[in-house]
Amino acid sequence: MKKSAPLILFTLLLPLAACKSRLQPAPRANATQPRAAAFTPPRPIAPQIFDYFLLNLSWSPEFCYSHRSAPECAQHSGFVLHGLWPEDSDGTYPENCSNAPGPANPSQYSDLYPDPTLLEHEWHTHGTCSGLSPDGFFTAARAAFHSIVIPSQLTHLDHPISLPPIQILNLFADSNPSVVTFDLALSCGHNYLTAVEVCLDKSFHPTACGTLHSCRANTVRISPPGSTQ
pLDDT in tens, 46-104: 999 999 999 999 999 988 877 777 777 877 789 999 999 999 999 999 999 999 999 99
pLDDT reported for residue 209? 95
Contact 218, 63 (CB under 8 A): no
Which domains are seen in the chain, by residue range?
53-222 (3.90.730.10)
Dihedral Cα 113, 154, 229, 70, nearest 10 deg: 10
**Amino acid sitting at position 28:** R
Indicate the burial class of 176 (C-beta count within 10 angstroms; 0-12, 13-18, 19 or more). buried
Cβ burial, residue 74 (10 Å; 0-12/13-18/19+):
exposed
Q: What was the pLDDT predicted at 21?
A: 31
Phi-psi group of 144: left, alpha or beta (phi > 0 → left; psi -120 to 50 → alpha; rest → beta): alpha
Determine how β-strand 220-222 pairs with β-strand 161-163.
antiparallel
Report the share of the chain in percent with pLDDT over 90. Answer: 70
Pairwise CA distance, residues 181 & 25, whole Å: 7
- Residue 145 scores a pLDDT above 70: yes
